[in-house]
């Protein structure tokens, strides 16, 4: 029997299962059981599985898996959670750290308030309310978030030919000058509305600053009522020094029998 120990955390309502794999024994290629681990209610249940591994070029390496078992380049709220987790397990000894992701190297800082701030990759490919903020996001500006069919309309846009073959995350937003955003996100890989999305908060803020007259720092209200803050620099053409700050919370820890997980059908 293979037992996997884990910690459950959430970042602004975005929940994750985190595993310490510095010894390299986690079955990283077993995507169907990773998906089973993330499934509700039969597994632990989460919006992403995060694995911490050793890195030859940074304090550690973060690998992120969507609830469907696919690996993604980055998750903003997950990156904030992994910073706190890495400090807890002794992967780093300082409140400041640098870690490796598939989207590049990120730095993080655990603030005295308990909030976690991370650097984010420079946004790129800005076009027609679309931006890659670590992962792709399509922004849809609306007047009333409560009336939006996030799952229906979000799923349609996510799978549209415009974003084939990989699809995109979809953020429905309300902008309020000078620096407020409300957002609901349909997340690729979750294939549903998510409680919060860190890269979506960054994408919404970046598009708001570039095209809708907002100013940094931008306060992004998530669907569960948490506040994420996006700050950075914009020279009228390019963004730099993008940072995402918000709360994280350790919920519980546990262990699961890996071999007994009921694998999700492909």
223 within some domain: yes
Closest CA to 187 of 207, 164, 158: 158
Total domain count, the chain: 2
Q: How far is residue 56's CA from residue 43's CA, in Å, rounded to a whole number? A: 32
Whether the pLDDT of residue 266 is over 50: the answer is no
Tell me if 7 sits within 8 A of 85, measured CB to CB: yes
Whether the pLDDT of residue 263 is over 70: the answer is no
Whether the pLDDT of residue 260 is over 90: the answer is no
Where residue 256 falls (left for φ over 0; alpha for ψ -120 to 50; beta otherwise) is: beta
121 within some domain: no
pLDDT tens-digit series, residues 114-168: 899 999 999 999 998 999 999 999 999 999 999 999 999 999 999 999 999 999 9
> CATH number, domain at 47?
3.10.310.10
Whether the pLDDT of residue 1 is over 90: the answer is no
Same domain (yes/no): 105, 144: no
Query: Strand 192-194 vs strand 180-187: parallel, antiparallel, or unpaired?
Result: antiparallel
Coil, strand or helix at 118? strand
Same domain (yes/no): 214, 161: yes
State mean pLDDT over 212-232: 96
Whether the pLDDT of residue 90 is over 60: the answer is yes
Mean pLDDT of all residues in the chain?
95
Whole-number pLDDT of residue 42: 85
124 within some domain: no
Same domain (yes/no): 86, 139: no
Same domain (yes/no): 83, 173: no
pLDDT tens-digit series, residues 228-242: 999 999 999 999 999
Same domain (yes/no): 209, 232: yes
135 within some domain: yes
122 within some domain: no
> For residue 77, what are the domain limits?
3-115+249-260
145 within some domain: yes
From the CB of residue 104, how many other CB atoms can be counted at a distance below 10 Å?
13
pLDDT tens-digit series, residues 170-194: 999 999 999 999 999 999 989 999 9
State mean pLDDT over 54-77: 96
Same domain (yes/no): 109, 185: no
Helix (H) or strand (E) holding 29: none
* Residue count of the chain: 266
Residue 124 has what DSSP assignment? B
Count of helix runs (H) and strand runs (E) in the chain: 4, 17
Closest CA to 265 of 15, 16, 31, 24: 31
Whole-number pLDDT of residue 236: 92
State mean pLDDT over 12-28: 96
Q: Catalytic site residues?
A: 75, 197
- Predicted structure pTM score: 0.93
CA distances to 14, 37, 153, 247 from 41, rounded to whole Å, are 17, 10, 26, 25
52 within some domain: yes
Coil, strand or helix at 1? coil
186 within some domain: yes
Coil, strand or helix at 163? helix
């Amino acid at each position: 029997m293979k037992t996997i120990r884990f910690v459950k955390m959430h970042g602004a309502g975005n929940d994750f299962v985190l595993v310490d794999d510095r010894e390299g024994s986690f079955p990283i290629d077993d995507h169907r059981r990773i998906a089973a681990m993330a499934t509700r209610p039969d597994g632990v249940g989460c919006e992403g599985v995060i694995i911490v591994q050793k890195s030859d070029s940074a304090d550690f390496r973060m690998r992120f898996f969507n609830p469907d078992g696919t690996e993604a380049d980055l998750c903003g709220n997950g990156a904030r959670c992994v910073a706190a987790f890495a400090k807890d397990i002794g992967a780093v000894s300082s409140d400041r750290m640098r870690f490796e992701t598939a989207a590049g190297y990120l730095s993080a800082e655990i603030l005295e308030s308990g909030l976690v701030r991370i650097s984010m990759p420079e946004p790129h490919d800005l076009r027609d309310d679309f931006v890659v903020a670590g992962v792709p996001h399509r922004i849809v500006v609306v007047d009333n978030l409560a009336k939006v069919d996030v799952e229906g309309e979000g799923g349609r846009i996510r799978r549209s030919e415009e974003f084939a073959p990989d699809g995109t995350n979809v953020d429905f937003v309300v902008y309020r000058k000078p620096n407020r955003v409300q957002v609901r996100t349909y997340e690729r890989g979750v294939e549903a509305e998510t409680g919060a999305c860190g890269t979506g908060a960054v994408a919404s803020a970046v598009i708001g600053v570039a095209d809708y007259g907002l100013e940094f720092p931008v306060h992004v209200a998530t669907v569960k009522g948490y506040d994420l803050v996006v700050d950075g620099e914009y020279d009228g053409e390019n963004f730099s020094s993008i940072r995402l700050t918000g709360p994280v919370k350790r919920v519980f820890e546990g262990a699961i029998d890996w071999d007994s997980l009921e694998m999700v059908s492909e």
